[in-house]
Amino acid sequence: MLSPPQTSPLSRREAITRLAKVGLVLGSAGAIGKLAYDRGGMDLARGGSAPQTRDYRETYPPADLPQMAIARGAPGLELDPKAPLPAAAPDPASLVLRAITAMGGMKRFISNGDIVVVKPNIGWDRTPAHAANTNPLVVAEVVRLAYDAGAKTVVVTDASCNEPGRCFQRSGIWKAAYDVGADVVLPSEHRFRGMRLGGEVLHEWPVYKALVEADKVINVPVAKHHNLSKYTGAMKNWYGALGGRRNRLHQNIDVSIADLATFMRPTLTIIDATRVLMRNGPQGGNIADARDVHIVCASIDQVAADAWGCGLIGRKPEDMPYLAMGESRGLGTRNWKSLRVADA
């Protein structure tokens, strides 16, 4: 066995000097390590005041492919609540597949080796029948299609309003996503990072690190009523990307929604309208408040997706101030019919 080299004892002054040098080296190494870790240098520790957006949009070639696709399992239900229901309810997964196929397939959006985050609404301790959360079968099909397109990892996560464990379990999303291979991540404080959003209301806020570090992000909200914003779908779903005291944002909800949508620009938006909460949203609680609509909408324009979706609960795009704000910021168009829309 080799013995450690023999050295003469250090004086107190020499010991202090060496410790100071070690501290400088470790401090520099720690700073370099932090810079290397922060992809794009987007956390508050980097300094600076420039806002940082997360833009996951692709160029989406070729230009003749649809910008929106609507898969209907029961034509007419979105316009007439009294329209007859189909004899057999369409499988939500089949509606997702039809919509994505009409858009050109998931390979249009996902590349081999991508780390993909699927962001449903898992905000509430409610069952699928309440229509407060995204349908678990819709989420699972999006995960499956992402893996089929070559994704390396698919993460499913949200920052719930009610107790996360119960929300993830009772919604059915935890099991459905896990069964098709997703990494299901529950929120906790260490999973958020302070960021400069640069918005009118949202200046600096903790943001889910999974969303910050993804290669692609697919927004999968449920369409429903909201007692403050009137309607919630794609743009409002980004509330679940934030930590901290989000209830403070409700004082200026339209601007905060527009700020979030300016910061988070997803690869693809898929709106679950298989069952829609018509009133007493966003949490609901009475099954009678929801109705079956059997529609899934996919779009590369989150403003247009919401302009379409708000009609499900009897609203018009001009009723939603945050849609006008999003359009004025160049995030999309409220005139969804001006897009290349495919009936799937």
* Residue carrying structure tokens 């919509």: 99
Is residue 4 included in any domain, yes or no? no
Which is nearest to 316 in space by CA: 230, 254, 257, 256?
Answer: 230
Residue 23 shares a structural domain with residue 104: no
- Tally of domains in the chain: 2
In angstroms, rounded to a whole number, what is the distance separating the alpha carbons of residues 319 and 313? 12
Residues 30 and 66 in one domain: no
Can you tell me the distance from the alpha carbon of 37 to that of 55, in angstroms, rounded to the nearest whole number? Answer: 19
7 found inside a domain: no
Query: What are 251-276's pLDDT values in tens digits?
Result: 899 999 999 999 999 999 999 999 99
Residues 337 and 260 in one domain: yes
How many whole angstroms separate alpha carbon 48 and alpha carbon 117?
Answer: 28
- Token pair 């699972």: residue: 140
pLDDT at position 3, please? 38
Predicted local confidence at residue 49, as pLDDT? 54
Q: Are residues 160 and 23 in the same domain?
A: no
Taking the model in full, what pTM does it have? 0.84
> Among residues of the chain, what percentage have pLDDT more than 70?
83
Least confident of 33-47, 140-154, 262-276: 33-47
Does 57 lie in the same domain as 43? no
Confidence of residue 18 (pLDDT cuts 50, 70, 90): very low
Mark whether 311 and 191 lie in a shared domain.
yes
Candidates 298, 304, 293; CA nearest to 334 is 304
Through-space distance between the first and last CA atoms of the chain, rounded to whole angstroms? 74
Q: Both 20 and 168 in a single domain?
A: no
Token readout for 257 is 């929604």
Q: Which residue range(s) make up the domain with 219?
A: 52-343
pLDDT of residue 307: 98
- Average pLDDT value over all residues in the chain: 86
The CATH number of residue 92's host domain is 3.40.50
Residue 293 domain-assigned? yes
- 88 in a structural domain: yes
Residue 122: its pLDDT value, please? 98
pLDDT 10s digits, 77-124: 777 777 777 777 889 999 999 999 999 999 999 999 999 999 999 999
In the prediction, which pLDDT does 75 show?
A: 78
| Token pair for 202 | 């949202």
HSE-CB at 140 with a 13 A cutoff on CA atoms is 17
Does any domain span residue 8?
no
CA distance 116 to 207: 17
Rounded CA Rg of the chain:
23
pLDDT of 317 reads 97
Q: Which of 72-76, 230-234, 268-272 has the lowest average pLDDT? A: 72-76
Asked if 176 and 225 sit in the same domain, the reply is yes
Do 31 and 127 have their domain in common? no
Q: Which residue has the tokens 């230009």?
A: 63
Examine the domain organization and report whether 44 and 63 are in the same domain. Answer: no
Dihedral of alpha carbons 275, 278, 284, 287, sign = negative
The beta strands (E) that lie in 187-246 are given as: 192-196, 204-208, 216-220, 222-226, 230-232
Residue 229 covered by a domain: yes
User: Residue 1 domain-assigned?
Assistant: no
Q: Are residues 27 and 60 in the same domain?
A: no
The SS3 call for residue 203 is: coil
- 56 and 44: one domain? no
Flag whether 187 is in a domain. Answer: yes
Q: What is the pLDDT of residues 160-216, one digit of tens each?
A: 999 999 999 999 999 999 999 999 999 999 999 999 999 999 989 999 999 999 999
